Amino acid sequence: MSEDILSKIVRMRKADIERLGLNFGIDIPEKRRVGHTEFLSNAGAILEVKRASPSKGDIAPDLDPVGLATTYAEAHAQAVSVLTESNFFKGSLRDLIAVADLMEKRRQQGLHTCAVLRKDFLLYEDEIDIAYRCGADAVLLIARILDDEQLVKMAKRAQSFDMQAFVEVRETDDFRKLKIVTEALSNAAAKTIVAGVNSRDLATFHTDPLVPASVRSKLPAKAVFESGIHTPADADYARSLGFTGILVGEAVAKNPPLAKDVVSAFESGCENAKGRFWKKFAERRDALRISHASRPLIKICGITREEDGLLAAELGADMLGFVFSTTKRLTNENFVRGFATKIRADRSPENIPLLVGVITDPNSPEGQTAIRLAHEGVLDAVQFHGTAPSAADTTLAHYCAARIGDASDFEQVASLRKNGEPRVMLDAKVEGIPGGTGKTIPESLLHEKAGDIPLWLAGGITPENVTAICEKFQPELVDVSSGVEDTPGIKSTEKLRRLFAKK
């Protein structure tokens, strides 16, 4: 088995320590010469001094750490994260010392001061001492690379210096370790421990913005969304999930003027219905991966009869779609209200599909009805099909569907993702027909353009082709409508059963 990136970083770092010592051959202060700022005492952004990364190579190789940290402080970041790993990130303890000295100077001038985080792949207790002497207010402790005993020892060492231990978790076992270290620090844990969940897998360096959503409920009140924040809209998404901090690296290191907008977007946001929907969806996805690892989530769309929706739920549907658009599958408010009441009364919470209103024109009477039902909580979310929410609807629980006919249509997908949409459904485009066409997206387009994103696929999916589609593209979610119908809006019991039998 080939060595993953995280293992390689740790191996090379151990070799450097063996050769150069824990200070990596750099002269460091004999004792701390700066004051202390509590790490993330208030909700806000942690912005990073970052020259390079294993996945992107050079990001800002010639950056001036003091100049960049000044920009971050002027943007009112809560903290500055200083990468000190040299082989892959081109960082140094010199950067940490320089940024800490800058913050001390600002403190003495009465200017806004950021806490300073040493971000590195720390392995030994004495590295906490070095970070403290260099001026760090907090240290990153990656649960994945530390055993229980070492994690506790390092967190206690940080606590002894009145520093915060920023404990990063992602894998299942990391949460067990977080619980152990929290219990070990007892009453000091609330002040010392700040939890962070990385949307980036450090073994592969792939990111998924739904990973933090899926585990937010397992984290303490003070928790940070790490990685994958590229725009102010991404920052707003993280805030909508209830995180009290974000850690942003590449985007602001490459484009420092962006810092102010990212900080403002996060601090002006709040936990809301959009975030609650994505947490529900992500938790459902994770539960399915445990029970049916190879099966995608399934949405049955175009529900117009109670018996069809109830059967789909009984068979295991994860989402049910109700069309609020002038098609043969058009539903109405009374039906959806009644159905939502019945299914929520009859089934346990974990067995209730998410209820989604599908709209093609947000300004139409039908579209406005769906939006109102989502605001009221009757619907769990709105699917903006071939359109996007207005600025007034960005806190609404929603996702978007893009209609794909040729390569240029993926520009809309990229735009939606840039605007903070963690997932975008792909549906086959047929001119003049908004959905339920029975057509599939050309496979060549999916192979060419959709390889790097978790796929939500709609269009032409049937009991006959769903297995082949899943084997070829491993979609996270499939949306089925006409493929399980006898006539538009009337589901076939036999086809529904055959579809779910394929799982």
Domains of the chain: 5-24+39-271 (3.20.20.70), 274-501 (3.20.20.70)
- Alpha-carbon gap, residue 413 to 399, rounded angstroms: 12
Closest CA to 375 of 391, 389, 360, 395: 395
Residue by residue, pLDDT tens for the chain (503 residues) are 688 999 999 999 999 999 999 999 999 999 999 999 999 999 999 999 999 999 889 999 999 999 999 999 999 999 999 999 999 999 999 999 999 999 999 999 999 999 999 999 999 999 999 999 999 999 999 999 999 999 999 999 999 999 999 999 999 999 999 999 999 999 988 899 999 999 999 888 889 999 999 999 999 989 999 999 999 999 999 999 999 999 999 999 999 999 999 999 999 999 999 999 999 999 999 999 988 888 999 999 999 999 999 999 999 999 999 999 989 999 999 999 999 999 999 899 989 999 999 999 999 999 999 999 999 999 999 999 999 888 778 889 999 999 998 889 999 999 998 889 999 999 998 766 666 566 889 888 888 877 677 899 999 999 999 999 999 999 999 999 999 999 999 999 999 999 999 75
Token pair listed for 431: 């001119």
Query: For residues 409 and 386, is the Cβ–Cβ distance under 8 A?
Result: no
Side chain identity at residue 415, one-letter code: S
For residue 146, the model assigns a pLDDT of 98
Q: Please, how many CA atoms are within 13 Å of residue 94, restricted to the half-sphere of its CB? A: 10
Task: Tell me the torsion sign for CA atoms 179, 184, 188, 191.
Answer: negative
- Rounded to two decimals, the pTM is 0.93
Residue whose token pair is 């050309």: 442
Per-residue DSSP letter, 41: S
Closest CA to 240 of 413, 393, 466: 393
Q: CB within 8 A of 133, min separation 6: which ones?
A: 28, 29, 30, 31, 32
- Burial level of 65, CB count in 10 A (0-12/13-18/19+)? buried
For residue 203, the model assigns a pLDDT of 83
Q: CB within 8 A of 193, min separation 6: which ones?
A: 155, 164, 165, 167, 178, 181, 182, 185, 220
For residue 430, the model assigns a pLDDT of 74
79-83 and 115-119 beta bridge pairing: parallel
- Alpha-carbon gap, residue 359 to 216, rounded angstroms: 29
Q: CB within 8 A of 464, min separation 6: which ones?
A: none
- Alpha-carbon gap, residue 266 to 249, rounded angstroms: 15
- Burial level of 495, CB count in 10 A (0-12/13-18/19+)? middle
Closest CA to 44 of 136, 138, 114: 114
Secondary structure string (H, E, C) spanning 131-187: HHHHCCCEEEEEHHHCCHHHHHHHHHHHHHCCCEEEEEECCHHHHHHHHHHHHHHHH
Four-CA torsion 64, 68, 69, 74, nearest 10 degrees:
150
For residue 448, the model assigns a pLDDT of 80
Closest CA to 282 of 240, 328, 245: 240
For residue 202, the model assigns a pLDDT of 84
- Alpha-carbon gap, residue 411 to 60, rounded angstroms: 27
Q: State how far the alpha carbon of 468 is from the alpha carbons of 269, 473, 482, in Å.
A: 42, 9, 18
What is 334-357 written as a DSSP string? HHHHHHHHHHHHHS-GGGSPEEEE
